[in-house]
Structure 1
């Protein structure tokens, strides 16, 4: 039996979140198909209880509310718990899989104990967290330094993006990092809902949205997801469709900046509709959109992009490596500004509305089925862990 300890997600059963969904699917599919692996999952909590979920041992880690340092403290306490558990239970050849690079300054201390216990350290470097606009310069500096040390001490870095893997190999070449690529996964099934279901009727009526008559954005409400560009370009287009934005929008400084910069409140086509936690309804909303707009550029294989490619027939993506490596020639790409090297989102909106024959040629769903289904991703992880 191979014991794999997963640290860094908020835990399972998952609420919606990238790492949380990943761990949920990893344990769910393993429970059905790969009983030779035993997963142990750290869970952020207000108590220290243990329980079983998807045949995985879930252990709660009690963490005080100490602000931005909470996630770092959580990972450190979870890692300390794991090493004590491995030692006390005399577990041999274990793997600790750390999601994200939050605890670099502390990992050297723990790595010495891992080596004594014959434990391998795997790390998922995630995306370019140190580029996120929400962090001040000091936190960004910490993230970059922490990433460096996690790369230095990891036995293997599991990258969910080829672009991230290339960045790790190039930026930290002096460490000769050992890397592999396993993508994030997506649910390729159709929504079980139909047009007459009450929750569907209620949602579409509430926001005065019509099937196939809206562009859709789904993602975290942060500047690096390029909301300003997408809203401005859409408002400057002559489209008669709506722009539906599903996000955790709060009327904060960023919201006020967008309002003042774009004047979106004066355009009835632009509709902030809040969040949709019902995954069947969210999938149905994706399926009924005319097109999905994606402006993420900070890093990693983005879950919302995979979900859109699996469900929405037309996807207009910001032309960066993280997006093009996934969708390849099965999507339409736009640049932040129109130039000899790129086409603006406004121009692409006009193009696809004037020539809708392009939609049938994209077939993005097949890309997800072939390369990003959860069944494939979990199989890839199982082979990786068992080969160690």
Structure 2
């Protein structure tokens, strides 16, 4: 559908909003919205606000924002926000892009009203170990609901496309991965301020959950002196979480826990000056953290599942257990030739598939079919 002024129009649902401050989908929403606005689109992004009060609107960087206050926190607050955003979007007849399927059942309202809705189906959330039975059923049911209710589906990885093909036909799916900035330089000061030496540390940037292999990574790194640091980003609460406690207990004095850092320039500097990045995600599609490490020019060591193998490509080091990773790190750390070889392969792979120019261009072409 088109806006009254004749511009193609898109409403983006499913994120906490723009500017990005909370994760991969928010970053993608910001980049896509900016790109489409520059191409003459009218873009409306739904934004979750903390607190109470009526829905209000404003404009940021040419992007219209529908700001919805929600007093509840956590998953409950997200569900309330998603419902209110869907109800608001259903008042128009304009194309919607829903990022994630966690509340896909709400898309029934858009379907009934004949509003075109493209759904990015994200990862296979119901397979994550952290969820209990009720939560897993909720995500599984919404996975199915998204497949049925979306007019079109986006898979960010061939492995996700294979999963969706068990439920819908191939014509209903477009495979477009996640993108990342190419970092050509970043200041050293943020790295030095954290007590790290540029080029003398590896990074792990992930939620501390079992399916992200954090315990295996820290344990493997700590088996022997490495002559380098392992910088671990994420919120760790060892006094409340047994898994977090196990990770920290397994760490040698070469492992540095930096906490949760949401300041984008600091995170980018940490990535850029890192010798390499260890990616332990076992579940999901194209993970933003992996692509961002590739864009930063890092050597990549990743868990050897099909999702990561498609993203990082051949000639990258893959592990499936703690012993594998220990062996890989022993041969890589300090080996300039081996690290540079991996960096070269990673750079070629990134330039081919994951620059924002490629990704956003593919999204625009796909969305034009429904606008």
**Same fold? TM cut 0.5:** yes
Give the match for residue 82 of structure 1.
89
CA apart distance, 1:75: 1.3
Aligned length: 359
Asked whether 1:249 is paired with 2:231, we answer: no
Alpha carbons of 1:69 and 1:258: their partners in 2 closer, same or farther (altered >3 Å)? closer
Give the match for residue 212 of structure 2.
225
2:208–2:244 Cα contact (<8 Å) kept: no
The separation in 2 between residues aligned to 1:50 and 1:141, in whole angstroms, is 35
Give the match for residue 40 of structure 1.
44
Among 66, 72, 92, the alignment partner of 1:65 is 72
Give the match for residue 370 of structure 1.
352
Alpha carbons of 1:29 and 1:147: their partners in 2 closer, same or farther (altered >3 Å)? same
Q: Deviations over 1:329-381 (max 9, x none)?
A: 2521111255xxxxx10010112137442222221123222211112211111
Q: Deviations over 1:182-203 (max 9, x none)?
A: 111100132441x4x4x44322
CA apart distance, 1:83: 1.4
Q: What's the secondary structure of 1:361's corresponding residue?
A: helix
Give the match for residue 321 of structure 2.
336
Give the match for residue 152 of structure 1.
148
- State the TM-score, normalized to the length of structure 2: 0.90
- Unmatched runs of 5 consecutive residues or more in structure 2: 1-6
- State the TM-score, normalized to the length of structure 1: 0.86
Give the match for residue 259 of structure 1.
245
| Comparing 283-292 and 144-153, the one that deviates more | 283-292
Alpha carbons of 1:241 and 1:83: their partners in 2 closer, same or farther (altered >3 Å)? same
2:301–2:318 Cα contact (<8 Å) kept: yes
Give the match for residue 103 of structure 1.
103
CA apart distance, 1:251: 3.0
Alpha carbons of 1:135 and 1:38: their partners in 2 closer, same or farther (altered >3 Å)? same
Q: Deviations over 1:79-111 (max 9, x none)?
A: 110111x1xxxx5xx311111112233433441
Among 267, 270, 276, the alignment partner of 2:261 is 276
Q: Deviations over 1:41-77 (max 9, x none)?
A: 1111144110112322110122230652322221121
Q: State the 4+ residue runs in structure 1 displaced beyond 6 angstroms.
A: none
Q: Deviations over 1:126-181 (max 9, x none)?
A: 101112233211011111011101101211001111111111112x14x7771001
